[in-house]
């Protein structure tokens, strides 16, 4: 008999679960608090539950706690990359990114990725499977236990495309946001997408309160088809319409992510097109210098090239930020996550 994973359950689910076991519903809230707030991994440690109930619970449920195989620490910044092994032996990576007062964790949502973006190492893994809610949250709780600090921000920008694991990602984000657990503000939780247009619309229709980041990375369909093959299914026009729908329905701004690759998407015509795109939607822009990965010969722009592009983009009142990714020296920066799952 497979054990129920308590880590991926919301309070209402836990209340129903314990009620079916003959316990009062408030026990569900206690279990939620022990896991999500206190970060315990052993049911025996839930000392507010009776010993009899704890013993019974162990035969029916488990707490998802992925095994930490390795922690790689950057010598350039304070970032750390975590390599996890899941119950089925599959491996994933997450990143801890401290900066100023912020303590951010970058979470993975899939093992590998089916989208094969040219500038991203995760796509080189192929796609193996989606992560469960418990496996997503297990990363965050494991990092928190290890660093022993309060997490302030969470970004779903690790391995995989979050919108292709929509239900599990949204549920995990809601649990992260829950005041009875980590209580991380919805404004501090960001979900990224390469442009699954129908899911962007679904975010709006579902009134999802978390921040949205859109990986743009090219300003015309030809370039985007090359860099991001998903553009052949959801082209730029369709994505822009979906983002405008999101803007209008939720009255929320979107963050555009633009990985700048020298000689590929930093031309004068890209400046013009990017300025035009930014006028069509309510957005901010993050310019991200390309981070090298194995198997691709793209070049990272130097500071002069980056400054030139930055200064030429007409922001029209929008905020433009250059985001130098942390953890480049340990392959933990934007686009560099890769876990070897070959037997």
CB 180 within 8 A of CB 225: no
Among 152, 223, 139, 226, which Cα is nearest to 189's?
152
Q: What are phi and psi of 102, to 5 degrees?
A: -85, 140
Residue numbers annotated as active site: 93, 334
N-to-C CA span, the chain: 27
Longest dimension (CA), the chain: 70
CB 80 within 8 A of CB 73: yes
Q: How many residues does the chain have?
A: 343
Distance CA 254, CA 240 (A): 11
Q: Which two tokens stand for residue 50?
A: 């009776």
Catalogue the E-assigned strands of the chain.
4-5, 61-62, 67-73, 80-85, 91-99, 102-106, 110-112, 127-130, 153-156, 189-193, 211-215, 254-260, 283-289, 320-322
Among 285, 229, 230, which Cα is nearest to 257's?
285
């Amino acid at each position: 008999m497979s054990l129920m994973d308590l880590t991926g359950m919301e309070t209402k689910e836990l209340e129903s679960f314990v009620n079916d076991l003959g316990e009062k519903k408030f026990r569900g809230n206690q279990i939620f608090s022990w896991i999500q707030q206190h970060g315990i991994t052993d049911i025996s440690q839930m000392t507010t539950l009776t010993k009899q109930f704890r013993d019974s619970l162990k035969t029916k449920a488990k707490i998802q706690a992925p095994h930490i195989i390795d922690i790689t620490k950057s010598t350039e910044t304070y970032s750390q990359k975590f390599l996890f092994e899941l119950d089925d032996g599959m491996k994933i990576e997450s990143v801890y990114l401290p900066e100023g007062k912020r303590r951010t964790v970058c979470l993975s949502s899939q093992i590998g990725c089916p989208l094969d973006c040219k500038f991203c190492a995760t796509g080189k893994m192929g796609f193996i499977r989606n992560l469960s809610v418990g496996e997503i949250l297990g990363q965050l709780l494991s990092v928190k236990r290890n660093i022993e600090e309060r997490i302030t921000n969470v970004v779903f920008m690790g391995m995989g495309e979050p919108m292709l694991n929509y239900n599990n990602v949204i549920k995990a984000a809601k649990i992260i946001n829950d005041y009875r657990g980590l209580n991380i503000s919805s404004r501090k939780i960001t979900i990224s997408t390469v442009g699954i247009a129908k899911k962007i619309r679904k975010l709006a229709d579902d009134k999802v309160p978390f921040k949205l980041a859109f990986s743009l990375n090219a300003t015309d369909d030809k370039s985007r088809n090359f860099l991001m093959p998903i553009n052949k299914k959801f082209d730029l026009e369709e994505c822009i319409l979906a983002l405008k729908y999101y803007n209008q329905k939720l009255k929320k701004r979107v963050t555009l992510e633009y990985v700048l690759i020298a000689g590929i998407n930093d031309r004068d015509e890209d400046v013009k097109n990017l300025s035009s795109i930014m006028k069509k939607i309510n957005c901010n822009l993050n310019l991200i210098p390309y981070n090298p990965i194995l198997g691709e010969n793209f070049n990272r722009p130097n500071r002069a090239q980056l400054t030139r592009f930055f200064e030429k983009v007409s922001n029209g009142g929008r905020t433009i930020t250059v985001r130098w990714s942390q953890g480049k020296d340990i392959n933990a920066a934007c686009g560099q996550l890769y876990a070897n799952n070959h037997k």
